[in-house]
Structure 1
Amino acid sequence: MNSLRLSLFALLLMSSVAVAEDRVYLRSSADSRTPEVYVGQIDDYTGQTLKMTTLSGRSIEIPAAKVASVESEWPEAMRAAQALFAQEKFAEAEIAFQQAYRAEPRGWVKRMLIAETARCRRNLGRNDAAGEAFLALVASDPYTPYLDAMPLAWKTGEPDVNLHRAAIAWLEKTDSPYAQLMGASFLLSAAERTKAIAALERLKSAAPAELALLAEMQLWRTEPPARDADKTAARRKQIEQLPANVQSGPRLLLGDALARDDQHEQATIEYLRIPILDNIDRPLAAEALLRAGKQLELMGRPAAAKRLYREIITDYPAAGVIGREASSRLEQAGGASP
């Protein structure tokens, strides 16, 4: 009787394992109302191709550009880490993602966990450590789909000692366009600015398409302020060529260009796209909200500006300097209380 129960238990266990399925959702075409879905087991997923064994046992390859999202049986450790990230407990989330990484056997999920670790470090302001994690990611997959995990500077600010040292080392990695892009990005605000500009010019001409475009957008930071509506419109189109998850930084620069042209309402809209569309880079989102608030003040809408400042204080508790400026502007702004 005991052996019969053990056999039944084994069969049930095998059945539960078989039920565990991965789902791959493809991007909807213009004439399709529902996304196409493949079900089975993901064998590998890189920035080029997703390889899968379907429920019927057929092996298929799907171009990564056609993949909208994937679902899988995520381990409990990974779900716990994601919950910590959602609560903005980035230090705890980083540790949890690393624990999940050590226990995870699937290579494509391990790369996902490295990307999550890099995102945690970015949100903690540890861009040097985030960059090292990202380079480990591209060493495993040179065509990574997780470009949003790459730390880049999109506003002026001299890097701290650790980041400065790391950026110099990255710039010297002539065999890695990812490393050079990161290094040049942070060194645009340092003594090595001339070397950084030269590296970005090379990347703009020779790097893979998305990196070349990001390099060109970094060079926007070096140009003198100018009012040029045609150039601004052209740059908006360039931004839209990028994957949605890496558009936020360039959109901050686009908002700045519109603000310089006294297009305060359009600048505000561009800034507000960032926290609406990007919930990953929290410091950048807080910066965008602050700049949008300033534009609203210039338009004579202090009550609306106050709402944004209060949002920074309430929803971005780790915003640091940005949060303190939001508190100061909240007290100083005129108009009715939000």
Structure 2
Amino acid sequence: MNSFRLTLLLSLLLSLLSCGAVSFAEDRVYLQHAAESRTPEVYVGTINDYTGETLSMTTLSGRQIEIPAAKVASVESDWSAEMRKAQALAAEKKFAEAEIAFQEAYRAESRGWVKRMLIAETARCRRNIGRNDAAGDAFLALVASDPYTPYLDAMPLAWKTGEPDVNLHRSATAWLGQSDSPYAQLMGASFLLSAAERNQAIATLERLQSSAPAELALLAEMQLWRTEPPSQDADKLVARRKQIERLPPAAQSGPRLLLGDALARANQPEQAAIEYLRIPILDNVDRPLAAEALLRAGKQLEQLGRPAQAKRLYREIIKDYPAAGAIGREASARMEKAGGAAP
């Protein structure tokens, strides 16, 4: 090929690229926002893998880089049509349909790091429709692929008293017996704290508190808060807030519910309500937990003599959390007792 034709072809290719006629998929990695920066740092290229330890990628210039997972705020990619459909269903709170769609997306996906993301989404959907046993199994499949998963918030844990149903009890008992998996044991002990196996669950949590990886050890300690008698020690409550902030933001909601409970018992209803309200504001993933937090916040507002504000929260539960079950029924009862519809 002579130099004139080569130059012509190169010019044509550059022209097509600049006009958008030829495009290549790009992954974008957004880092945690630095305090001294107004805009987040972004890397563009191809993600090779993303685990709970590192994200590896090839930049547009061809450079191979590794980013600590703790510094990653979010990622964007060329998601498949199946994945976009599943995400849309989840955004519409159609979690049963979204679960099926995420599984379809998983089967169509070839990238390992995206497949793990889809497993996490499946676990979240199952939790939101009350299938914590199936959610736990999905989460264990996730950590089997990546023992240091960045999707810690996809792990189902119990944060309030309530005996597990038959299926969940069976699964929790099996998880508790998996001595090679601290994730499984943490989930099992969490749900069995309200069952006949309570003493075994406490012993497991105490062991995990001293032997599990840092974030799991911290969650085990926080589960043990559920077993302690009420305390009005102000210093302890401040210390617990600091402990919660050591967790990834997406995993803080459950412990914040317990902190709200402690503040309520310490006769600090306003602070308790604030803590409860952080959950639905900051966490749009765990819907049952968010509905519970709104209900508890409403009760604290009633105690403060603010019935109109309480009714607004009860109405939000009824309107936005139609699958809330017993929580929704209690919100409706409190609405009627307080005088009907919220202003």
Matches of 1:20 and 1:335, distance apart in 2:
53
- Structure 1 position 17, deviation (Å): 7.2
Q: Name the structure 2 match of 1:5.
A: none
Per-residue CA deviation, residues 190-245 of structure 1 (Å, 9 max, x unaligned), is 00000000000000000000000000000000001121111111100000100000
Amino acid at match of 1:151: P
What secondary structure sits across from 1:19 in the alignment?
coil
CA distance in 2, matches of 1:22, 1:204: 38
Helix, strand or coil: the match of 2:221?
Answer: helix
Q: Secondary structure at the match of 1:51?
A: strand
Paired residue for 1:212, among 214, 217, 231?
A: 217
Match of 1:188 among 177, 186, 193: 193
Offset at residue 113 of structure 1 (A): 0.2
**Are 1:235 and 2:240 counterparts?**
yes
The reply to whether residue 145 of structure 1 matches residue 145 of structure 2 is no
Q: CA deviation at 1:56?
A: 1.0
Query: Does residue 246 of the first structure (1) align with residue 256 of the second (2)?
Result: no
**Partner Cα separation in structure 1 for residue 98 and residue 193 of structure 2:** 31
Identity %: 82
**Alpha-carbon separation, structure 2, partners of 1:98 and 1:319:** 25
Contact 1:44 1:107 in 2 (8 A): yes
Counterparts of 1:106-185 in structure 2, within 5 Å, are: 106-185=111-190
Counterpart selection for 1:198 from 194, 203, 206? 203
Paired residue type of 1:50:
L
Aligned to 1:75: 80
CA distance in 2, matches of 1:27, 1:154: 28
Equivalent in the alignment of 1:4: none
Residue 325 of structure 1: aligned partner: 330
**CA distance in 1: counterparts of 2:158 and 2:102, whole angstroms:** 24
TM-score normalized by structure 2? Answer: 0.93
Tell me the distance in 2 between the aligned counterparts of 1:250 and 1:16: 50
Distance 1:93 1:336, change over 3 A: closer
In structure 2, runs of 5+ residues without a counterpart are: 1-11
Alignment: residue pair count: 329
Q: Measured at CA, do residues 160 and 41 of structure 1 come closer, stay the same or move farther in structure 2, by a change above 3 Å?
A: same
Segments of 4+ in structure 1 off by > 4 A? 15-18, 334-337
User: Counterpart of 1:273?
Assistant: 278
Equivalent residue letter for 2:193: L
TM-score by length of 1: 0.94
Q: Which runs of 5+ in 1 are unaligned?
A: 1-7
Letter in 2 for 1:304: Q
Name the aligned partner's letter for residue 121 of structure 1: R
Distance 1:282 1:336, change over 3 A: closer
Q: Is 1:310 the equivalent of 2:315? A: yes
SS state of the match for residue 310, structure 2? helix
Whether the 8 Å contact between 1:128 and 1:167 is mirrored in structure 2 is: yes
In 2, Cα distance between the equivalents of 1:107 and 1:337? 48
Distance 1:205 1:84 in 2: 40
- Write the letter of the residue equivalent to 2:327: I
| Distance in structure 1 (CA, Å) of the matches to 2:72 and 2:296 | 34
Change (3 A) 1:74 1:331: same
1:298 Cα shift?
0.6
1:144-164: CA deviation from partner (whole Å, max 9, x where unpaired): 000000000000000000100
Q: Which moved more, 1:55-64 or 1:200-209?
A: 55-64
Which of 43, 60, 85 matches 1:38? Answer: 43
One-letter code of the match for 2:194?
S
For the residue of structure 2 that corresponds to 1:74, the secondary structure is: coil
1:292 corresponds in structure 2 to: 297
Q: Distance in 2 between matches of 1:50 and 1:16?
A: 30
Matched, 1:60 2:55: no
Q: In 1, Cα distance between the equivalents of 2:250 and 2:21?
A: 35
